[in-house]
Amino acid sequence: MSQLGMLIIVSAPSGTGKNAVIRELTKKDSNIFYSVSATTRNPRNKEENGVNYFFLSREKFENMIINKQLIEWDEYVNNYYGTPKKFIEDMTKKGNDVILEITVEGAVNVKEIWPEAVMIFLLPPSMEELRNRITNRNTECIESINKRMISAESELKYVNDYEYVVINDDLAYAVNQIEEIIHAERLKTIRNKNIVNKLVRRKK
């Protein structure tokens, strides 16, 4: 099947475990790639250009904004972060699927620009479990944990903007469910116009 790849948007409240899910998914399916963001912040430790981020100067980044080369961008603590359009276009043209992990506000904007994107909301099994997971990281004080919980609640209000919900209770099970969503989406009639047209046109 010479089919275009898909853009798959994944959002989840912090602590749901979306990074582990996406890492596992891209490891299992060699056709799925993680969307590499662009940023103006400096590389940390072993971060590599083009792998973890595209590291850009402010001038270069602002040029990309002006030239509409980003499908979404934001500024956070004096640094820009954004999603280069070209990376996604190149990948999907080759038939690869691209996973974009993004905030709920960003996701809604991307869907407007890329209406054929598949939107998946990853949910924690319960809010109690979400709090446990954040607490067990042992990296945050109680105020920061409470703040994350409040954010999570307001993020969950966007769930109806997403087509699919997956509960991340068991990692392997959640990954498997996302794979099934991706496989089913590849069978959508609108993504298979070529096959259908060819079959109908050739007749007899």
Chain positions contacting a second copy, by CB under 8 A: 121, 123-124, 126-128, 131, 149, 153, 156-157, 159-160, 162-167, 177, 180-181, 183-185, 187-189, 192, 195-196, 199-200, 202-204
CB nearer a second copy, residue 74 or residue 167: 167
d(CA 182, CA 59): 37
**E strand or H helix that includes residue 59:** helix 58-66
Strand 97-101 relative to strand 32-34, pairing: parallel
CB of 97 to a second copy, least distance (A): 14
Nearest to a second copy of 62, 163 (CB atom): 163
Q: How far apart are alpha carbons 44 and 13 in whole angstroms?
A: 24
89/149 with CB nearer a second copy: 149
Which neighbouring-strand residues pair with 37?
53
Give me the least distance between CB of 51 and a second copy, in Å please. 30
- Rounded to a whole number of angstroms, the minimum distance from the CB of residue 95 to a second copy is 17
> How many C-beta atoms lie closer than 10 Å to residue 76's C-beta?
9
User: Given the complex with a second copy, which of 68 and 204 has the nearer CB atom?
Assistant: 204
Report the distance separating Cα 181 and Cα 184, nearest Å.
Answer: 5
| Cβ-based nearer residue to a second copy, 95 or 125 | 125
Phi/psi for 169 (5° steps) reads -95, -55
CB of 127 to a second copy, least distance (A): 5
Strands 79-84 and 37-39: antiparallel
- DSSP secondary structure letter of residue 76: E
Q: Shortest approach of a second copy to residue 148 CB, angstroms?
A: 12
Of 138, 173, 148, which is closest to residue 12 (Cα–Cα)?
Answer: 148
* Nearer to a second copy among residue 109 and residue 192 (C-beta): 192
Minimum distance between the CB of residue 113 and a second copy, rounded to whole angstroms? 21
